[in-house]
């Protein structure tokens, strides 16, 4: 009898410990999400001049490393900025490398690998530059840096920080696609170049299965194409 009572007591203590542990994890998750949301709202609401001061704390890309073909990209950016003055400070740079990708730093400098530059038409490159400019307008890089700092503070592990930011990063990519699609409609009356770009990328680097998206910073190319087609119906 005493053994049964002792066994039940041990089970109760174990369950209570489990409930406390789960409760603490959930509480930390709620606090983490609250701080992430608050950080996003704060970054969205700070003035443009304050944003520039924060960005000035980060190192800037070296223009001397840019290839001469960068001039063509900056002419396209000037055309885009005629539709949206918020990207007047954005600068593009072609860098050596065969990779089919582009990225932007926190201070608004777009880096395009030579491999991608040589493969795209002007309209397709306009989509790429407008996509990266969309990240700048949405202050995505700054938000991601703050979120990574918060995640490291809570999780204490860089791999956990990267995993937790994947879903958020995919959302940022979709919003940048949305902005770039609008730019194409304003400049060319359609967003065909967006489809063409993702078809080129998918031919070179085919999508994985649906599950692979959950471990990627970007949505599947086919999924992005389908969403862009929906936007075409919305804008046309």
Question: What confidence tens digit (pLDDT) does each residue in 89-136 have?
Answer: 888 999 999 999 999 888 888 999 999 999 999 999 999 999 999 999
Question: What confidence tens digit (pLDDT) does each residue in 187-226 have?
Answer: 999 888 998 998 898 888 876 655 566 557 777 878 888 8
> pTM of the prediction?
0.80
> Where in the chain does DSSP place strands (E)?
91-95, 102-104, 109-113
Q: Please give the residue that has the higher pLDDT: either 170 or 129.
A: 129
Give every CB contact of residue 180 below 8 A, 6+ residues apart in sequence.
127, 128, 130, 131, 133, 134, 194
Q: Are 195 and 225 in contact (CB under 8 A)?
A: yes
Q: What is the CB-side half-sphere exposure of residue 99 using CA atoms within 13 A? A: 10
pLDDT at 122: 94
pLDDT band at 163, cuts 50/70/90? low
Residue 5 has pLDDT above 80, yes or no: no
pLDDT at 223: 83
Question: Residue written as tokens 């119906």?
Answer: 233
Q: What is the CB-side half-sphere exposure of residue 226 using CA atoms within 13 A? A: 5
């Amino acid at each position: 009898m005493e053994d049964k009572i002792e066994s039940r007591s041990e089970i109760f203590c174990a369950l209570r410990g489990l409930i406390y542990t789960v409760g603490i994890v959930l509480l930390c998750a709620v606090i983490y999400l609250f701080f992430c949301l608050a950080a996003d709202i704060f970054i969205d609401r700070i003035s443009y001049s304050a944003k520039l001061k924060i960005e000035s704390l980060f190192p800037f890309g070296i223009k001397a490393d840019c290839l001469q073909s960068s001039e063509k990209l900056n002419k396209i950016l000037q055309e885009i900025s005629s539709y949206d003055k918020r990207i007047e400070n954005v600068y593009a740079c072609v860098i050596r490398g065969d990779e089919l990708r582009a990225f932007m730093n926190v201070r608004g400098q777009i880096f395009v690998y030579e491999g991608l530059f040589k493969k795209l038409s002007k309209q397709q490159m306009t989509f790429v530059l407008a996509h990266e400019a969309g990240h700048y307008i949405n202050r995505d890089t700054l938000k991601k840096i703050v979120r990574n700092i918060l995640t490291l503070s809570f999780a204490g592990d860089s791999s956990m920080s990267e995993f937790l930011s994947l879903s958020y990063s995919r959302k940022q990519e979709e919003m940048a696609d949305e902005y770039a699609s609008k730019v194409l409609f304003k400049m060319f009356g359609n967003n065909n170049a967006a489809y063409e770009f993702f078809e080129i990328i998918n031919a070179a680097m085919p999508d994985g299965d649906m599950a692979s998206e959950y471990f990627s910073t970007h949505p599947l190319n086919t999924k992005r194409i389908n969403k862009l087609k929906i936007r075409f119906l919305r804008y046309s």
